[in-house]
Copies of this chain bind each other. A is one copy, B any other.
Amino acid sequence: MSSSADPTGASDRPRRRCLRADAERNRDRILAAARRLYARDGLGVSMAAVAREAGVGKATLCRRFATREELVDAVFADRMDAYAAAVTAALADPDPWRGFVGCVQAVCAMQAADRGFADVLTTAFPAAGALEERRSRAHAGLVELIDRAKASGHLRDDVTDRDVVILLMANAGVLDAAGEAAPDAWRRLVAQMLRAYAAPGAALPPLPDPPSPAALSRAVLLGRTGQAAS
């Protein structure tokens, strides 16, 4: 034990110092299963369902991730990185307004592609370490992006980063309510919102068509997929 190379990394990490090979494999299976279920059904999925999907016992899941928060934290770390990357890419755009528009669209698209991520973006957990740290880093970039877009004159002066946070919350609501019956409703929301943000004269992407009346009323009639509100 003293001469081993400790292949997985530092041994001074408080928990999960060095997992056995099969345990590591199970951990990955759990993460993959959770990612799949969360993306489809949101964060409400039960721990038991994740264990079932992963093909491991409930005890295994509970030991590896003591709380749902820990699991969520591990599952969405890379998604949060993608968020930060989108902000960084937008900052690299020579046209700040175009960067801002693309960034907002990209993040909202990420929410649409992953219901769990939509929840995560607007619902953090107090103790969620890694996730929270990444989010705040991305947020700082967003503030910078907004400042530059304002300076360019294409983003209205009274728009703030909180407006974007509110948009993310709103988008989550649309995704939740529209569900699969009107999977593109969110695009309409985002386009309208960008129109509100834009200073007169700023270039705007074309407004996508709204969902058909039938699709939207089907969405309303079907209601939120699971939980019937709550």
Contact = CB atoms under 8 A, between A and B. Distances in A.
Interface residues on A, range: 35 or more
A196 interface: yes
Given A119-B230, A192-B197, A221 B162 contact: no
A193 interface: yes
Given A123-B228, A170-B170, 13 more contacts: A41-B230, A43-B228, A44-B228, A68-B228, A124-B223, A162-B185, A162-B211, A162-B216, A163-B210, A166-B174, A170-B189, A173-B177, A200-B200
A27 interface: no
A224 B124 CA distance: 9
B162 A124 contact: no
A137 interface: no
A176 interface: yes
9 contacts: A42-B230, A43-B230, A123-B223, A162-B210, A166-B185, A169-B176, A170-B189, A192-B197, A230-B230
A163 B176 contact: no
Copy total for this chain: 2
A227 interface: yes
Interface string A188-210: 11001101110010000001001
A170 B160 contact: no
A43 to B, nearest CB: 4
A133 to B, nearest CB: 13
Interface string A209-230: 0110100100011011011111
Given A188-B163, A192-B197, A195-B196, A43 B169 contact: no
Nearest to A122: B177
Contact of A220 (B42, B124, B207): B124
A196 B221 CA distance: 27
Contacts of A177: 122-123, 169, 172-173
Contacts of A213: 161-162
B163 A170 contact: no
